[in-house]
């Protein structure tokens, strides 16, 4: 199963992104395909926060447009939403300690923990910070 990180969601949504066309194509292929793919709840939250943030985008996405975009992705019959479960904390704690993740890296570690707990085969992300976690295959589908 492929999971999609926040940055690809933002690029697919924001037409002013230099990566918009490639990211939108990736998400469309996943959403219209028959193979299970995943969106993590923390990435949904982060997507809405970033897309609507006036200090990041001028103009930011209106909240209704960001919410409608999430609804559209969630309409995919193959999408799975990933969230924390009972055995999440021990996994997160171990990963945080091993990577010595602090500050913003805690969020990335949270994404890795959720992917590992839910059997994600590959995380699609343009964020190179995930490569500090060899337990998870990470690929940037926007570059060759």
Structure tokens at 37: 């793919």
* pLDDT (0 to 100) of residue 131: 85
**Total-model pTM:** 0.94
pLDDT (tens digit, 9 = 90+) per residue, 30-55?
999 999 999 999 999 999 999 999 99
Fold adopted by 2-139: Rossmann fold (3.40.50)
Region 121-134 average pLDDT: 92
Fill in the DSSP letter of residue 122: E
Task: Spell out the domain ranges in the chain.
Answer: 2-139
Q: What is the helix (H) or strand (E) element at residue 45, kind and residue range?
A: helix 41-51
d(CA 115, CA 110): 9
Looking at every residue in the chain, the average pLDDT score rounds to: 95
68 vs 130, more confident: 68
**Tokens 């103009």 -> residue:** 59
Per-position DSSP letters for 58-111, written without gaps between them = SSPPPHHHHHHHHHHHHT-TTEEEE---TTHHHHHHHHHHHHT--TTHHHHHHH
Where residue 139 falls among pLDDT bands split at 50, 70, 90?
A: very high
pLDDT (tens digit, 9 = 90+) per residue, 80-117?
999 999 889 999 999 999 999 999 899 999 999 999 99
Percentage of residues of the chain with pLDDT beyond 90: 94
* pLDDT (0 to 100) of residue 111: 97
Cα dihedral across residues 97, 39, 61, 20: positive or negative: positive
Structure tokens at 35: 């193979």
* pLDDT (0 to 100) of residue 75: 95
């Amino acid at each position: 199963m492929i999971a999609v990180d926040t940055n690809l969601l933002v690029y697919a949504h924001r037409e002013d992104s230099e990566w918009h066309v490639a990211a939108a194509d990736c998400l469309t292929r996943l959403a219209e395909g028959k193979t299970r793919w995943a969106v993590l709840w923390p990435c949904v939250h982060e997507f809405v926060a970033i897309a609507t943030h006036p200090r990041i985008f001028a103009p930011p996405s209106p909240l209704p447009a960001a919410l409608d975009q999430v609804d559209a992705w969630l309409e995919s019959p193959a999408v799975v939403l990933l969230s924390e479960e009972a055995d999440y904390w021990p996994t997160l704690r171990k990963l945080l300690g091993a990577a010595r993740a602090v500050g913003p890296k805690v969020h990335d570690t949270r994404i890795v923990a959720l992917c590992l707990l839910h059997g994600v085969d590959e995380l699609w992300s343009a964020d190179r910070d995930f490569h500090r976690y060899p337990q998870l295959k990470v690929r940037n589908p926007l570059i060759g």
